[in-house]
């Protein structure tokens, strides 16, 4: 049985360490934590960090489930649709922000139990245990997966497996097995149904939670609104006669199977958080308290190298034609970038297994800070013999990637792919390349375009700013000089009024110059335009953190001032649960969107919802009708009311705001 092609959006062992319940603080029964006396500390900003931290951790506020240990929800609110299709699912993104938040808590208080406990929850709930990924011993690194072409629209699926297309060798599987003594993968799956809302449970049991699920499978035009949610372990208990598999992949016969998809930016963020935890704990003399967790972060970074490889381990560079582009040998299938995913799976009976990398890489997923830590910091260097060297190569390649993609104005363009159209097509004549990878202004997904959202800029450049601050890297500084000027020129803030505007959506034109590392071009033909602005809280926090880390290293007082002003403006928008602003969701007209199901294909969701031709986003999620926020959405969809307005409390955004407060309070004397 071949590999199931998997796309993770936005935006997955055996446990040796006992899992301890994470204490969720309640203002009613918890004394205020002691704050360390740090010279030059801005006490007000640190107090604000703790105040928001307490709101996030208060069980009454609904950021966490009641599992033991708890799980962070994507948002407090249940009715929300973006990459996750429901507020009480969660993502590896949320877990990585939780680990980062607890690192900041340790920085401020000197207490590190919560950092360890957040990682323990991640390890228990969203890193598959050995019995949840059986059969990896049957994986053949010389035949890692069977090729299936990606298609442009959901209507062209299922994709037929093609056993005749050459695939390459997996060059790191044996090294990882030898290093860790088993064949399992230590990485997060990207999506969990925290309270089993869909009803799959795990491996068809129908009841257990959190439950591993997936959504995106059918090419770049499959938005969240057009997905068929399905279990990560498909035992054919739900869906059609072959479960859900034959909606996505065409084969002669189908087997019960499990499959997980890793979002590399989340795993890299967890490593980044572990680096800062190590740095701050060491400054306190407390590094011994987190040494085991830091070692696990290094291990995660070892497996994260799968994201550096072409999807089918084909040769990287000028790879055209599925039959003619050869499979890779050694590491010539590595692009050394953080691609959109890696994935792994196998038979439910434990008889076979597969692994894939990913051909497209988005600049927004790169993490040069994590690459530097994994290549240069002894405690975070992975144990596999070639891992630190791979991450050192990746650091250089990532920095070049940003430079190649920086527009004339300063914003960073989308990315590149080793597989044009996801099927190794011939790209247009004259197309720009980066080490033989083809420029793509919207890698991976087109509805909406993946590089339209300004948040990709702030997420990614915040990591660049940390690298600049930690290492004084001149290439990082040069990138930031130009980017910061552009971002600040397109941002306005009135801290006294509690209002601000940051870029929301971007428009792109042209392409970068073909990359020549000896003589980089100026990209005079690559342009970005800010097409709309808003008050997105998480994006604003990430922008502020980018500006402050840049300012702390460069001495740019204007950037420092704007960072502080943005924090002040956000703080003026407090409510009982955290920070919020009104969001009008005109895109919720798509609650009625049709979800493509082939004519004649029929099946059922666990609650009895019919999966059939003509199904819609809502008909596959009929339980949304019981949500207290649904009536305003329904009225809007029916043309009987305005676009609904919400005040959302996304876990990652609240955590980022809190951490921005701590950073500002401790970065500047």
The per-residue pLDDT for range 291-307, each reduced to its tens digit, is: 999 999 999 999 999 99
Query: What pLDDT does 31 receive?
Result: 56
Q: Are residues 397 and 457 in the same domain?
A: yes
Helix (H) or strand (E) holding 257: strand 257-262
Q: Are residues 356 and 468 in the same domain?
A: yes
Query: What pLDDT does 42 receive?
Result: 85
Q: Is residue 220 part of a domain?
A: no
What does each C-alpha distance from 623 to 90, 182, 194, 605, 626 come to in angstroms? Answer: 18, 41, 16, 11, 6
Q: Is residue 606 part of a domain?
A: yes
Alpha-helical regions (H) of 132-263: 173-180
Q: Is residue 188 part of a domain?
A: no
Q: Are residues 545 and 608 in the same domain?
A: no
Q: Are residues 476 and 523 in the same domain?
A: yes
The pair phi, psi for residue 626, each rounded to 5°, is -90, -5
Q: Are residues 412 and 286 in the same domain?
A: yes
Query: What pLDDT does 38 receive?
Result: 73
Q: Are residues 496 and 641 in the same domain?
A: no
Q: Are residues 273 and 401 in the same domain?
A: yes
CA gap 75, 52 in Å, rounded: 15
Query: What pLDDT does 35 receive?
Result: 82
Q: Are residues 273 and 362 in the same domain?
A: yes
Sheet of 257-262, strands arranged across = 233-234, 257-262, 342-347, 353-356
Listed as ranges, residues in the chain with pLDDT below 70 are: 1-32, 669
CATH of the domain at 642: 4.10.870.10
CB atoms near residue 256 (< 10 Å): 18
Query: What pLDDT does 595 receive?
Result: 99
Q: Is residue 319 part of a domain?
A: yes
CB 421 within 8 A of CB 497: no
Per-residue pLDDT of 331-380, as tens digits, reads 999 999 999 999 999 999 999 999 999 999 999 999 999 999 999 999 99
CA gap 652, 87 in Å, rounded: 12
Query: What pLDDT does 294 receive?
Result: 99
Based on the residue annotation, tell me whether 409 is a catalytic residue of this protein. Answer: no
Q: Is residue 246 part of a domain?
A: no
Nearest Cα residue to 245 out of 603, 599, 593, 595 = 603
Mention every residue, 6+ apart, whose C-beta is less than 8 A from residue 558.
Answer: 488
CA gap 297, 396 in Å, rounded: 21
CA gap 357, 333 in Å, rounded: 10
Alpha-helical regions (H) of 441-556: 455-471, 474-489, 537-554
Domain of residue 308: give its range: 43-130+262-581+649-667
Q: Are residues 549 and 594 in the same domain?
A: no
Query: What pLDDT does 479 receive?
Result: 99
CATH of the domain at 394: 1.50.10.10
Q: Is residue 546 part of a domain?
A: yes
Overall number of domains in the chain: 2
Q: Is residue 571 part of a domain?
A: yes
Q: Are residues 465 and 524 in the same domain?
A: yes
CA gap 106, 287 in Å, rounded: 11
Based on the residue annotation, tell me whether 132 is a catalytic residue of this protein. Answer: no
Q: Is residue 551 part of a domain?
A: yes
Catalytic residue chosen out of the listed positions 58, 93, 123, 184: 93
What pTM, to 2 d.p., does this model score? Answer: 0.95
Q: Are residues 544 and 635 in the same domain?
A: no
Q: Are residues 599 and 527 in the same domain?
A: no
Query: What pLDDT does 14 receive?
Result: 24
Catalytic residue chosen out of the listed positions 150, 175, 251, 265: 265
Query: What pLDDT does 6 receive?
Result: 30
Query: What pLDDT does 152 receive?
Result: 99
The pair phi, psi for residue 61, each rounded to 5°, is -90, -10
């Amino acid at each position: 049985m071949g590999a199931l092609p998997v796309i993770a959006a936005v935006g997955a062992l055996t446990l040796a360490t006992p899992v301890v319940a994470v204490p969720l603080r309640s203002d009613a029964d918890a004394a205020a934590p002691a704050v360390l006396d740090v010279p030059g500390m801005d006490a007000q900003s640190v107090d604000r960090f703790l105040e928001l931290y307490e709101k996030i951790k208060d069980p009454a506020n609904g950021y966490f489930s009641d599992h033991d240990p708890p799980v962070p929800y994507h948002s407090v609110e249940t009715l929300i649709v973006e990459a996750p299709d429901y507020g009480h699912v969660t993502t590896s993104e949320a877990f990585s922000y939780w680990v980062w938040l607890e690192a900041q808590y340790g920085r401020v208080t000197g207490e590190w139990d919560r950092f360890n406990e957040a990682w323990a929850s991640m390890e228990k709930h969203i890193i598959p245990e050995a019995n949840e990924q059986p059969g990896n011993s049957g994986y053949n690194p010389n035949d890692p997966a069977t090729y299936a072409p990606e298609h442009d629209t959901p209507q062209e699926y299922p994709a037929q497996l093609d056993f005749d297309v050459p695939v390459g060798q997996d060059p790191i599987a044996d090294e990882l097995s030898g290093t860790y003594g088993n064949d399992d993968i230590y990485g997060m799956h990207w999506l969990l149904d925290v309270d089993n809302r869909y009803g799959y449970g795990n491996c068809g049991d129908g009841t257990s939670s959190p439950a591993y699920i997936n959504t995106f499978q059918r090419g770049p035009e499959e938005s969240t609104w057009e997905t068929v949610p399905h279990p990560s372990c498909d035992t054919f208990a739900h869906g059609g006669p072959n479960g859900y598999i034959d909606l996505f992949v065409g084969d002669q016969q189908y087997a019960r199977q499990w499959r997980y998809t890793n979002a590399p930016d989340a795993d890299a963020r967890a490593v980044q958080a572990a680096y800062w935890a190590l740095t701050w704990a060491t400054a306190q003399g407390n590094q011994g308290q987190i040494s085991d967790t830091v070692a696990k972060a290094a291990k995660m970074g070892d497996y994260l190298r799968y994201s550096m490889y072409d999807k089918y381990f084909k040769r990287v560079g000028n790879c055209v034609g599925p039959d003619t582009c050869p499979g890779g040998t050694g590491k010539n299938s590595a692009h050394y970038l953080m691609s959109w995913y890696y994935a792994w799976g196998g038979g439910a009976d434990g008889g076979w297994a597969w692994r894939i990398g990913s051909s497209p890489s988005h600049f927004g997923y790169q993490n040069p800070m994590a690459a530097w830590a994994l290549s240069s910091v002894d405690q975070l260097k992975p144990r596999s013999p070639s891992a630190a060297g791979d991450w050192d190569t990746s650091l250089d390649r990532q920095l070049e990637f940003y430079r190649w993609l920086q527009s004339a104005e300063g914003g960073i363009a989308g990315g590149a792919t080793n597989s044009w159209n996801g099927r190794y097509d011939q790209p247009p004549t004259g197309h720009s390349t980066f080490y033989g990878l083809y420029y793509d202004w919207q890698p991976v997904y087109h509805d909406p375009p993946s590089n339209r959202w300004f948040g990709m800029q702030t997420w990614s450049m915040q990591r660049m700013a940390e690298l600049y601050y930690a290492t004084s890297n001149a290439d990082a500084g040069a990138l930031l000089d130009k980017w910061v000027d552009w971002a600040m020129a397109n941002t306005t803030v009135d801290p006294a009024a509690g209002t601000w505007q940051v870029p929301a959506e971007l428009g792109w034109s042209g392409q970068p110059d073909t990359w020549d590392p000896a003589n980089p071009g100026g990209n005079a033909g690559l342009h970005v335009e800010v097409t709309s602005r808003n008050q997105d809280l998480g994006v604003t926090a990430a922008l502020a953190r980018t500006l402050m880390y840049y300012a702390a290293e460069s001495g740019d007082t204007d950037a420092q001032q704007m960072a502080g002003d943005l924090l002040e403006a956000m703080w003026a928008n407090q409510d009982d649960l955290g920070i919020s602003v009104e969001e009008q969701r005109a895109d919720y007209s798509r609650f009625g969107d049709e979800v493509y199901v082939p004519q004649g294909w029929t099946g059922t969701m666990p609650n009895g919802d019919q999966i059939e031709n003509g199904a819609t986003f809502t008909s596959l999620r009929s339980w949304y009708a019981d949500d207290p926020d649904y009536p305003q959405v329904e009225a809007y969809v029916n043309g009987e009311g305005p676009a609904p307005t919400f005040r959302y409390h996304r876990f990652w955004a609240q955590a980022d705001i809190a951490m921005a407060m701590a950073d500002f309070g401790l970065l500047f004397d």
